[in-house]
Amino acid sequence: MSDVHSKETRSYNMSRIMGADTKPEMLVRRYLFSKGFRYKLHHKGLPGKPDLVFPKYKTALFINGCFWHCHEGCKYFKMPKSRVEFWSNKLEKNRVRDSLVKEQLSQLGWNVFVIWECELKKDKREQTLSNVEEYLKNNEYKR
């Protein structure tokens, strides 16, 4: 099956996909900031440049898109039907890199928390955000 968009349209659409300051990320940032949590954004000194870093809680938080990070069993992750080899290689590399980054952060003594894009849909959002808040409160780093 061929793409429903022209090559130029598809290229434009793909170029508009952001890596930082996405809607799910902004939603989590606003919520946690309103609850008194302070964080650093995209900390370059840590593996994987986590979306949010909470030094006080020694926690790195990633907000992953279900497609780009291959969320297993999620209805929002579907392997594209065109250029299957390209996409399967690209997405598998993303999955391997994510796993490696989590391992590296754990070895450095950081807690890693991942929020999936689908967990921020309206029906699950409140529960997900309160889970993050509770996780952070329970993992305050003792110096």
Q: 20-138 belongs to which CATH class?
A: alpha beta
Dihedral angle over CA of 96, 20, 53, 128, nearest 10: -80
- Indicate the domain borders of the chain: 20-138
Copy the structure tokens of residue 109.
């003594």
pLDDT digits (tens, 9 = 90+) for 69-126: 999 999 989 988 888 999 999 999 999 999 999 999 999 999 999 999 999 999 999 9
pTM of the model: 0.85
